[in-house]
Amino acid sequence: MDIPSLIDSLHPLEIKVLTAFGATPGSVLETEQLAAATALEPSQLSMAIEWLLAKSLLVVDKETVTPIVSLTPVGQEYYEKQAPIERVLAAAREVTTNGQRLTIQDLQAKEGLDPSDVSKAVGRLKKEGVLLIVQGGCIESTGRASQTAETVRTLLRQLHGESRELQSFQESERQVIQDYAIKRGNAKEPFRVDDRVTRSFKLSPTGVTAAEHLATQGIAEEVSQLSPELLKDGSWRTKRFRKYTISLRAPRIGTGKKHPYREFLDTVKTKLVSMGFREMRGTLVETEFWNMDALFMPQFHPARDIHDVYFVKEPTHATKIAEPFLSRVTKAHQDGGRTGSTGWGYRFDGERAKRLVLRSQGTAVSARTLASSPAVPGKFFSIARCFRYDQVDATHATDFFQVEGIVLGHDINFRTLLGLLNLFAREVAQAKEVKFLPAYFPFTEPSVEMHVRHPRLGWMELGGAGLFRPEVTLPLGVTVPVIAWGLGLDRMAMVALGIHDIRELFTDNLELIRTTKGLF
Amino acid sequence: MPTISIFKSDFEALLSDRKRTSVPLEQLEEWLMLVKGELKGHNPETGELRIELQDSNRPDLWCCEGIARQVRIKQRGKLSAYPFLKKKPKAEHKLLVAPGMDRVRPYVAACTARGYRVTEEGLAQLIQTQEKLADIFGHKRKTVSIGLYQLAKIRFPVTYDLVKPDQAKFTPLGMETVMTLSEILMVHPKGLEHGHILEGQDRLPLLRDATHQALSFPPIINSREVGEVLVGDEDLFVEVTGTDQSMVVLTLNILAANLADRGAVIEPIEVRYPYKTPLGKSVVTPQDLGKPRTLTVETIEQALGQPLGAKAVQKALEVYGYAVSVGKGTVKAKLPPYRQDLMHAMDVVEDVAISRGYGTFAPEMPAQFTVGGLSRIEQLSDRSRELLVGLGYQEIISNILGSPEDYRSRMRLDGTDWGRMVEVGNVMSLSFSCLRQWMIPSLLRVETASSRAFYPHRIFEAGEVAIPDASQELGSRTDTVLGALSAHATAHFSEIHSSLDVLFYHLDRSYTLVPLAHPSFLEGRAGGIMVDGVRVGVIGELHPEVLERWQIAVPAVAFEVNLSNFTERA
């Protein structure tokens, strides 16, 4: 790395350390001197030093290890209440003076001392000739002074509140310190000896060059954020902009985004419009008439059972059904009327036709459109919310979208129906291979089911279609042939969105909605 | 849409009376297109096939015999006529209907079938066919029900009598003891299931033979003595009763054709009514009720978009089972006796297409030009959605069908006008028992479930609601509304107000807020959104009690705008 880009990559803390060497880049500085020169917190300083060492801009000149003595909490306690050795000695002197007998057990009980402390103190004092163990395990003072006890007392006093270098003590004191310092396996001692590592640093040759560069370019102040002020007075020119570590993960932010399933439906909507389809809208509540009767589903049809449709509680019936549709549909059901059909041959119930239901099929919207004198030729679609009276599970939702519509025209026939379905296969499912199977819908004849080979999903049913029966179109005033089609897109959407439960299309899990990728 | 179970070997045996060949599954699936069938499952060990039949107007296809028949006709080029339709009934083969039956269960049809020794597979098919026909075609036995009996135990003439509920007794199938008809209705599982069909009748139907032996109590249950067919039985008596004569006769025709296909000799029976019926007072069954229908070849060609010619049409229909004669530019077509689904010329058109195979028709693009476009309300909704996305809101989609608890109670709207909704009469689950009348509960539903998603939460939905409205024919309006909600520790009125302001600016509408007392919002922190003096929406800080009821632990602010109000005025 060349020097300028090296300098650019430096953190402000590193610069502070480098510039601390100042005019004499060759000098050797100790950590404390660096701390003074940079005015950095110890943690910041050590961070900067480690970084510079890692970059080989700084090298360790010398490393000195200084043992430091200090009091432990136990030492603090001894300072306040005397060390065990002194207390043992004092007790021994007392019994010797008044002629009483004192065993080591008595001593433990009387002074409330730890057995190990007592035995250690007795051992030491005996060795010094200060104590005697006489017959019966009793202790007696010899009247001599204890060097150890005095040294301990002095050390406790000297170290109280400050630590000192081990070397500053006399040899005899150092010996006592070593004897009474905490060691592995024995933490209950008054003194501790820690190694203080002092390092001195000097700049490496590259470090020297870098420091010289920093010195000559002047100490450009480093800034992290470009501000309006910097731009306004042009002072950005004299600033350094710290470089970021751009490989870090970006923080998360909330997004404004369309719902992935809705986006999928939007795509379908756009495709249909681009193919010349006009949107139709309907109502969530429909009459049985438009939901079923107008579609030539006989009133005794099994799918019209109480267990297949949601009925409205209040009001139960519409106020009326528009004429001439009601009479014409009635006739179509009963004897075919003028449709060329025999009809279903039953007595049509006009009251039943007014019964209000929750729309159960999008075809209801198509029926309404047929009755509204639609343009011929004409293409219409709707993405209609429908309701199915069913137990909810992974493949059944009570609430779902149906994508369907109609095509009216003089050139509409079975072959153009297949042509239209081919177009859907290509445009909506990007499928090149299509299979047409005979199917049954109450309102179309002939009826087709379309299976396509989706580029990723393999063979799947894409939709159903057919030519509306004349019993449907003629009573609604349409005399040209009409294609009715419907696309089953839920499965495609589910696979594309990577979900396996249809209820997840309408999930209430915001995290899931935020993180599901849309399709495009 | 029945799904039936058949056995592959049984199907293969019905296909050919000479040598039986194994049919590959691919071949079977192709044949199933002839019957609008779909193979749903196959057990290679037992040879069982599960097939779904789509066409609810073709009950003849809901059985192994029917599917095999449709394939067989195609293979042989023509349906060979069923001789029993031309036969005269034997003098003793009479079924006498009691006076008054026209007010109970007016129609009956019957025949005998001799010489087919019932196999295990055959019996399974007989029972399945009986169930599917009575259940689906016969509307759970209301319109049509079926009985099968051991012919040897029956002495003709059989009578279709009306008796007092306690007057007659027999041992029904599934029971050990003799029971009266009223006991059967009260105790027998079939009586409990189907008894309602005879509700309000003081006399009940009973089929009896010349010795006064009970055959069955239609449409409830057969006698255990006579009405239980077993493997090995050779001679059967078959009857169908019901409320629609043509359906009753058609059902018998299907059963007779099925048994004939299995080798039985069918002998007709004369039914004598004491009252007039659409087919007269004396009706021989089975009976071919089909009437030939003349249609122009042009009609067919136009509908299919393909020139075919009369000969090709004739061929296509014959190999599909029709009887056809060709006239000048016309064909006269008659359905086989086991079908009755020809209502319109278009039904014939579809059969021509199926018979020739949908794959033989080349798809052709509709050439006429049309202009596409979105409705005004959809455009407005899309534009609003774009704006909300730009404002940083995440779109959601919700069910419209929900619960009064969510849409009303949790919103503190019980007993208020705000709480009126379109409710379901036949509730299956309270969770899905009403349509949402406003959007904010849908947003709160997501908020409740998302306390662990990082904040702030800004969400919106544009969608439909149903608003009760007595001035409408349907008793309600479907409006498109837009709702937006912001929830986080410092959510505040002015924040949601700013979003609303931007929305209205870009929708090019000016609005004012007027103070509004709305139970869902904190008092003094809610407003009605007014456009030209009409309230088009609400905005406010949600009431802490609402948040508590939704178990939401952060403040939430929201607005809702009825977009339909905009377009109506535009």
For the stretch B375-419, pLDDT in tens is 999 999 999 999 999 999 999 999 999 999 999 999 999 999 999
Average pLDDT of the segment spanning A163-187: 83
Tokens of A420: 């239209």
In chain A, the number of structural domains is: 3
Q: Which domain holds residue B122?
A: 83-285
CB pair distance less than 8 Å for B453 and A511: yes
- Alpha-carbon distance of B179 to B222, in angstroms, equals 12
% of chain B exceeding 70 in pLDDT: 99
Quote the radius of gyration of chain B (alpha carbons, Å): 33
**CATH number of the structural domain spanning residue A497:** 3.30.930.10
Run of H or E including B504: helix B493-506
Both A174 and A96 in one domain: the answer is: yes
Looking at beta carbons, which residues of chain A come within 8 Å of B367? 411
CB pair distance less than 8 Å for B454 and A252: yes
Both A401 and A441 in one domain: the answer is: yes
Residue B320 pLDDT > 90, yes or no? yes
pLDDT band at A76, cuts 50/70/90? confident
Which of these three, B251, B285, B319, is where a domain ends?
A: B285
**CATH number of the structural domain spanning residue B63:** 3.30.56.10
Average pLDDT, chain B: 94
Residue predicted with more confidence, B18 or A197: A197
Looking at residue A219, its pLDDT comes to: 61
The reply to whether B366 falls in a domain is no
Cis peptide upstream of residue B219 (ω within 30 degrees of 0): yes
For chain A positions 333-352, those within 8 Å of chain B (CB to CB) are 336, 339-345
* Residues B392, B405 contacting (CB under 8 angstroms): no
Looking at beta carbons, which residues of chain B come within 8 Å of A276? 369-372
* Residues B489, B518 contacting (CB under 8 angstroms): no
Looking at residue A218, its pLDDT comes to: 63
Residue A183 pLDDT > 90, yes or no? no
Both B280 and B136 in one domain: the answer is: yes
Nearest to A419 among B136, B365, B448 (CB): B365
Both A355 and A503 in one domain: the answer is: yes
Tokens of B24: 């590959």
Is B80 an interface residue toward A (CB < 8 Å)?
no
Looking at residue B465, its pLDDT comes to: 98
* Residues B320, B280 contacting (CB under 8 angstroms): no
For chain A positions 231-250, those within 8 Å of chain B (CB to CB) are none
Buried/exposed A461-471: b ≥16 CB within 10 Å, e otherwise: bbbbbbbbbbb
Nearest to B474 among A258, A275, A356 (CB): A356
Both B280 and B152 in one domain: the answer is: yes
| Residues in Cβ contact with B524 at an 8 Å cutoff, skipping those fewer than 6 apart | B515
Both B381 and B499 in one domain: the answer is: yes
**CATH number of the structural domain spanning residue A28:** 1.10.10.10
Residue B272 pLDDT > 70, yes or no? yes
What one-character-per-residue DSSP string does B75-92 give? Answer: HHSSPPPPGGGTPPPPTT
Extended strands (E) in B165-231: 169-170, 179-180, 204-208, 214-217, 221-222
Average pLDDT of the segment spanning B462-473: 97
Is A190 an interface residue toward B (CB < 8 Å)?
no
Phi, psi of B87 (to 5 degrees): -70, 145
Both A489 and A377 in one domain: the answer is: yes
pLDDT band at A220, cuts 50/70/90? low
Looking at residue A302, its pLDDT comes to: 73
Tokens of B124: 């399974």
- Alpha-carbon distance of A433 to A443, in angstroms, equals 27
**Terminus-to-terminus CA distance in chain A, angstroms?**
44
Average pLDDT of the segment spanning B483-505: 97
Buried/exposed B455-476: b ≥16 CB within 10 Å, e otherwise: eebbbbbbbbbbbbeeeeebbb
For tokens 């009963």, name the residue.
A334
Cα distances (Å, whole numbers) of residue A241 to A221, A225, A244, B517: 9, 7, 9, 55
For the stretch B20-61, pLDDT in tens is 788 899 999 999 999 999 999 999 999 999 999 999 899 999
Is B390 an interface residue toward A (CB < 8 Å)?
yes
pLDDT band at B17, cuts 50/70/90? low
For the stretch A129-168, pLDDT in tens is 888 887 777 888 887 888 888 888 888 888 888 888 888 8
For the stretch A22-72, pLDDT in tens is 767 778 888 888 888 888 888 888 888 988 888 888 889 888 888 888 888
Q: Which domain holds residue A127?
A: 73-189
The reply to whether A87 falls in a domain is yes
Lowest mean pLDDT across A378-382, B225-229, B564-568: B564-568
Is B477 an interface residue toward A (CB < 8 Å)?
yes
Nearest to B390 among A256, A275, A391 (CB): A256
Looking at beta carbons, which residues of chain A come within 8 Å of B455? 254
Average pLDDT of the segment spanning A511-515: 92
Both A78 and A59 in one domain: the answer is: no
* Residues A128, A146 contacting (CB under 8 angstroms): yes
Write the DSSP symbol of residue B243: S
Residue B569 pLDDT > 50, yes or no? no
% of chain A exceeding 90 in pLDDT: 39
For chain B positions 25-64, those within 8 Å of chain A (CB to CB) are 33-34, 36, 54-57
Looking at beta carbons, which residues of chain A come within 8 Å of B446? 508-510, 513
Instruction: Supply the ipTM of this predicted assembly.
Output: 0.91
CB pair distance less than 8 Å for B346 and A259: no
The reply to whether A484 falls in a domain is yes
Which of these three, B33, B55, B76, is where a domain ends?
A: B76
Lowest mean pLDDT across A10-14, B355-359, B540-544: A10-14
CB pair distance less than 8 Å for A262 and B397: yes
Both A15 and A150 in one domain: the answer is: no
Cis peptide upstream of residue B286 (ω within 30 degrees of 0): yes
Lowest mean pLDDT across A238-242, A382-386, B336-340: A238-242
CB pair distance less than 8 Å for B305 and A385: no
3-state secondary structure of B68: helix
In chain B, the number of structural domains is: 4
**CATH number of the structural domain spanning residue B551:** 3.30.930.10
* Percent helix / strand / coil, chain A, rounded to 5: 40, 20, 35
Looking at residue A182, its pLDDT comes to: 83
Nearest to B364 among A300, A315, A415 (CB): A415
Residue predicted with more confidence, A227 or A454: A227
The reply to whether B178 falls in a domain is yes
Extended strands (E) in B472-542: 476-487, 512-515, 521-531, 534-542
Both B353 and B309 in one domain: the answer is: yes
Nearest to B358 among A316, A336, A448 (CB): A448
**Other C-beta atoms lying within 10 Å of the C-beta of residue A292:** 28
Average pLDDT of the segment spanning B316-337: 95
Tokens of B458: 């800004």
Both A33 and A107 in one domain: the answer is: no
For chain A positions 367-406, those within 8 Å of chain B (CB to CB) are 375, 377-379, 385, 387, 389, 391-392, 397-399
Looking at beta carbons, which residues of chain A come within 8 Å of B347? 445
Average pLDDT of the segment spanning A496-503: 83
Q: For the sheet with B293-296, list strands across it.
A: B293-296, B330-334, B323-326
Both A30 and A95 in one domain: the answer is: no
Residue B485 pLDDT > 70, yes or no? yes
Average pLDDT, chain A: 88
Both A363 and A500 in one domain: the answer is: yes
Lowest mean pLDDT across A207-221, A228-242, A248-262, B276-290: A207-221
Is B210 an interface residue toward A (CB < 8 Å)?
no
Nearest-CA residue of chain A relative to B291?
A342
Quote the radius of gyration of chain A (alpha carbons, Å): 48
Angle subtended at Cα B296 by Cα B291 and Cα B300, rounded to the nearest 5 degrees: 100
Nearest to A440 among B54, B375, B450 (CB): B54
- Alpha-carbon distance of B341 to B325, in angstroms, equals 19
Tokens of A85: 């050795």
Looking at residue B570, its pLDDT comes to: 41
Both B119 and B252 in one domain: the answer is: yes
Tokens of B50: 């599960």
For the stretch A77-130, pLDDT in tens is 888 888 888 888 888 888 888 777 778 777 777 777 788 888 888 888 888 888
Looking at residue A1, its pLDDT comes to: 65
CB-neighbour burial class of residue B438 (10 A; exposed 0-12, middle 13-18, buried 19+) = buried
> Can you give A288-340 as a three-state secondary structure string?
HHHHCHHHCCCCCCHHHCCCCCCEECCCCECCCCCCCHHHHHHHHHHCCCCCC
The reply to whether A321 falls in a domain is yes
